[in-house]
Amino acid sequence: MRSLLRNTDMIILIAVLALVIIGIIGIYSAGYNAPELKDDYFKQFIWFIISLIIVVIIWLMDYNWFGILSIPIYIVCIGLLIAVLFTTPIFGATSWFKVGPLSFQPSEITKIILILVSAKYIDFVIQKNKKAMDKWYNVLAVLGIMIGPVLLILKQPDFGTAAVFVFMTAFMLFKAGIKYRYIVMGILIILISIPILYFFVLNEIQKQRIDVFLNPELEPLGSGYNAIQSKIAVGAGMLFGTGLFKGTQTQFGYLPVKTSDFIFSVISEEMGFIISVLIVIIYTILLIRIINVAKTSKDTYGMLVASGIFAMIFCHFVENIGMTMGLLPITGIPLPFVSYGGSNLLTNFISIGIVLSISARRQRTIFVD
């Protein structure tokens, strides 16, 4: 136990706790004048306590067990992703299971499972031959692990989450040391795929989001409304913010989905530029420490899992803040540890528990720049 405590990177946990506290405060203020959102902060707090208990359990476990358990769970997740397609659409997407007052997205836990399964396969290949990941069929095998969940998530449709899956897999392949020609080929395929996806894969709502991202004024009272109101809220906060419960966009209902997708807009308006920058700094510290855990992991499997979790949090962080500021299209991606949502919070805490498990069992404890 002393060895685990000595090696565990507690700065990661401190950073996460700071983000959760800021998030709960923001959620409380966002729901202050909205009866349907008034209890969201309390629900988030309950999920936070549950998540903390799970983090401790995962931290105490050897992370290599997750690689063994991930394969059957991956199959279960595929089944859940198929089953969720037959549920009642919520906001135009069949992404949620509702059981009484509870609801959850199977795509959330699938993110973690995809990281674990992909890392297990890559580690298996590298253990046999360190240069085997340069073989095209091994790269295709990893992409094959990813493609099933991605296609099912696109069917929901949830383009933003599918993009996270692609980014996580690409980053793990990069960390596995694949040849640069595969990276160049991947970039070219993405560039070629963009017009194909736009005209033949995306539905009208997703196309509207891209069109509105390029020019929100196309539909200021329609598809462009969310982007315009979010940018107004972010700009209205100025340096110190308008104060809790005093934001015009937040308290008068102009800002949509304000406890989850646009929580950063709420925080920017009511807590100001200083707290917004503080959030970015905390995320930067968190991501640096996670990638450090990957560098100092005692084995390839731990390195790959930590790298995948880094990619997942990085992608969510950049996309959410980018969309609230009008720099990226609106995709409905939540801000990790800050946005309201039980399944999202639990998934992120599970990922942090795994990172802490890896850090507790690493061979080197020095910080790597």
For residues 94 and 103, the model is more confident at 94
Cβ 76 vs Cβ 82: under 8 Å? no
Taken in order 287, 293, 299, 301, the sign of the CA dihedral is negative
Provide the pLDDT for residue 254.
87
Mean pLDDT of 74-80: 94
Is 365 contained in some domain?
no
* Structural domains of the chain, count: 1
- Three-state DSSP class for 342? helix
* pLDDT for 364 beyond 60: no
E strands, the chain, are 97-99, 102-104
Among the listed residues 7, 120, 123, the one whose alpha carbon sits nearest the alpha carbon of residue 363: 7
Is 98 contained in some domain?
yes
Share the mean pLDDT of the chain.
87
Confidence of residue 6 (pLDDT cuts 50, 70, 90): confident
Record the tokens describing residue 73, joined without a space.
Answer: 């769970």
Among the listed residues 168, 162, 174, 101, the one whose alpha carbon sits nearest the alpha carbon of residue 134: 174
Provide the pLDDT for residue 88.
81
Among the listed residues 193, 182, 167, 174, the one whose alpha carbon sits nearest the alpha carbon of residue 137: 182
Q: Distance (Å, rounded) from C-alpha 195 to C-alpha 296?
A: 41
Is 224 contained in some domain?
yes
Is 366 contained in some domain?
no
* pLDDT for 368 beyond 50: no
Q: Which of 11-20, 131-140, 145-154, 339-348 has the highest mean pLDDT?
A: 11-20
Is 292 contained in some domain?
yes
Name the residue range of residue 176's domain.
2-360
Is 252 contained in some domain?
yes
- Three-state DSSP class for 99? strand
Confidence of residue 345 (pLDDT cuts 50, 70, 90): very high
Is 367 contained in some domain?
no
Is 109 contained in some domain?
yes
* pLDDT for 365 beyond 70: no
For residues 329 and 267, the model is more confident at 267
Chain segment 104-163, per-residue pLDDT in tens:
888 989 999 999 999 999 999 998 887 778 788 888 999 999 999 999 998 888 888 888
